[in-house]
Structure 1
Amino acid sequence: MATVYEERAKVFKALCDARRQHILELLHGGEKCACVLIDEMNMPQSSLSYHMKILCESGIVTGREDGKWTHYRISEQGSRKAIALLKEITAVDDDDTGASSC
C-alpha cells in the first residue's frame, strides 16, 4: 500500500516533465486518440505509452480502449485532486510565526 507521500509524488511526477506538459496541453481540447498524440508529439508509440502510464497513474488523465487504440482525456476529478493537493502541501499555518525551532 502506497504512503500518502508516494501518492503525492505520482501527481508531481506526472507534472514535472516537459513532454507530459505538452501532452496535457494537447488534451485541453478534449479526448484524443493515442495515434493522434503520437503524430502531434512526434514520438514513438513506446515513448508515448510510458508518458501516458505516468499521467494515468497520477489520476490526472484517463484512458479508454477502442479497438487497438486508447483514447485519452484529462480527468476533471484528477485535475481537482491535483489542485487541492498543491494547495494542501503549500498552505501556511496561520499560527506559524515563521520562527524556526532549530
Structure 2
Amino acid sequence: MTVTGPTTTSVTPRASPPLAAASAALGRPAAGPAVLGLAHAPLDSDRAGDLAGTFKALGDPVRLRLLSMIASAAEGEICVCDLSDAFPLTGPTISHHLRILREAGLVHGSRRGTWVYYRAIPGELSRLAGILDAERPAPATV
C-alpha cells in the first residue's frame, strides 16, 4: 500500500498469526517462541522485510507519539477523541496514522458507539524490544 501526504510512505502490513491476533484482541501477549535479538544471528530476508515494515511505521514522529500515548494510557486504552486533541492535525490525518499502526500490528482498535478506543498490543511491543536487545548470547560451555 502506498499512502500519499506530505511525504510518500509505504508500509507492508504484517500478517498476524491467529493466536497472536486473538491474544492482541484481549490485550495479552501471545505465547510463542522466544524472540532472538539482532545480536544473536543475522536476519534472513523475510524477517528483515517484516521488521522493516514495522519499524517504518514507527519512523514517523506523529505515529511514534500516538503509540506512546496509547501504550501509556492509564486504563490500558485511549479514545481516538483524546488522541486527536493532542495534535494540530485533522481527524482524517490522525485516522491515517492510526491505520498504519494497526496494519503494522502495533495497536488494536475497538468501536464503542461513535468512538474507537485503541490499545497497544503488548506481545508485539515486547517482540520489538527483544529484537533490539543488543546483548550477545553467552557462549556455550562444554
TM range (shorter): 0.7 to 0.9
Cα separation, partners in 2 of 1:52 and 1:17, compared to 1, 3 Å? same
Measure how far apart 1:92 and its partner are: 6.4
Change (3 A) 1:93 1:81: closer
Amino acid at match of 1:31: E
Aligned positions of 1:15-34 closer than 5 A: 15-27=58-70, 28-29=72-73, 30-34=76-80
Q: Which amino acid aligns with 2:85?
A: D
5+ residue gaps in structure 2? 1-13, 15-45
Rounded to whole Å, the distance in 1 between the matches of 2:88 and 2:122 is 27
1:83 positional shift = 1.5
Residue-by-residue CA offset, 1:50-78 (whole Å, 9 max, x unaligned): 11111112222111111232111111111
Residue 55 of structure 1 corresponds to: 101
Alignment RMSD, CA only?
2.3
What residue number does 2:49 align with?
6
Which residue identity does 1:40 align to in structure 2?
Answer: A
Match of 2:114 in 1: 68
Unaligned stretches of 5+ residues in structure 1: 95-102
Partners of 1:60 and 1:82 within 8 A in 2? no
Distance 2:93 2:135 in 1: 35
Give 1:76-91 correspondences, 5 Å limit.
76-87=122-133
Q: Distance in 1 between matches of 2:50 and 2:61?
A: 21
Deviation at 1:20? 1.1
The structure with the largest helix share of the pair is 1
Aligned residues between the structures? 92
Question: Which residue of the partner structure matches residue 44 of structure 1?
Answer: 90
| Percentage of identical aligned residues | 30
Q: Which amino acid aligns with 1:83?
A: A
Using a 3 Å threshold, how does the CA distance of structure 1 residues 84 and 67 change in structure 2: closer, same or farther? same
